[in-house]
Structure formats: C-alpha cells, structure tokens
Amino acid sequence: MTRLEFRVHELTVGQLAERSGVAVSALHFYEAKGLISSRRTAGNQRRFSRDALRRVSFIKVSQRVGIPLSEIKRALATLPEERTPTVADWARLSETWKTDLDDRIAQLQKLRDDLTECIGCGCLSINKCALTNPYDQLGDEGPGPRRLLVRHGDAPHADGAQSTPSAPSATAAQGDSQAEPCADDIC
C-alpha cells in the first residue's frame, strides 16, 4: 500500500521513495545533481513538496526510455522552482521535447524493424549487404550503421533508408553518450 494521505503536502524522503518507487539513494543522487530539491527542517531532515513526485516520475520514465540525465535536468530546469508547476508549465516543457522525442521514436522504430536488413555498418555479413552496401560504399559517408541512424532533419533515401549527415545533431550526440552515473536500477 503506497497511497499517500491526500492532505499531505510535504513528504519525507522515505515517503517520496515509497510512492515513487525510486530508492532513497537515487533521490539523494537526483537532489545532488539538482533535478529535485527539498527544504530542511529544524532537525535537518529533508522535506519535499508533493509535486516532487511528478518530477521524480518524469525522471524515472525518461531514464527508462534512454534519455540522459543531463537532458532531463535541462528540461526540468524550465519548470518554476518557487511554485508547483502548472499544466501550462508542463505543456511548455513537452513542446520543447516534442522534436527530440519524435526523433527517438523514429530511431527505436528503425531499430525494431530493420535488423533483418543491411544496416550499413560495414560488416558485409548478410547477403543483402552486397546489394545495398556493395564494397561498403556507405562507409564513405561516415562511421556507424549508416542505414539505421535517424537524426533530426534526415531526409529518407529513395529506398526508404535515412540519409546520413556528416555530423550528428547535438541531441543525437547527447543520446549517444549514455554513460550517466546513476545510483539506482532505473537507468
């Protein structure tokens, strides 16, 4: 039973952990990284406003779909600190993330759907490679699986594969570096 009494406006770290399903150690980590904040009581105990639950949930789900903590932090920084964020505040955050999320969805769909095809990685290990990447011609475009990469603004090839710009977008580059430290098992 993790239901919180509805009159509770401030949570201990234990209550926040229990209701969010995120370990206390991870909450401390998020706070140290500036993703959530608390006030201290006279006895130096943390108290979180109840809307921290929404922030922690946002962090948890975002991390689960592979969004780096640095990006999550940047998004959360657009919310007001001094009051409970409104629907309009969350809508603004959502709007700034829309393009990035669309790109991630497109990439995940390609990862799901195209692994039986030649992905243009240079391995030439399946029979389709001779046809779609003869002599590893796609290697001339740059590193990586040239037919699998989805980056913002890519125009599709005539055969449905994505074109591959020479430099990754900032967002894609951030997504490539997933080595965020995490104190929990939710990364």
Positions touching ligand FES (CB under 6 A) are: 118-126, 129, 133
For ligand FES, the closer of residues 123 and 170 by Cβ is 123
Least distance in Å: CB of 138 to ligand FES?
7
Residue whose CB is less far from ligand FES, 117 or 154: 117
Q: How far is the CB of 134 from ligand FES (least distance, A)?
A: 10
Task: Provide the pairing of β-strand 46-49 with 10-11.
Answer: antiparallel
CB contact at 8 A, 24 and 12 = no
DSSP string, 88-141: HHHHHHHHHHHHHHHHHHHHHHHHHHSTTS---SS---STTHHHHSGGGGGGGG
Check: CB of residue 118 under 8 Å from CB of residue 129. yes
Q: Which is nearer to ligand FES, 122 or 168 (CB)?
A: 122
**What's the closest the beta carbon of residue 85 comes to ligand FES, in angstroms?**
45
Q: Which is nearer to ligand FES, 125 or 166 (CB)?
A: 125
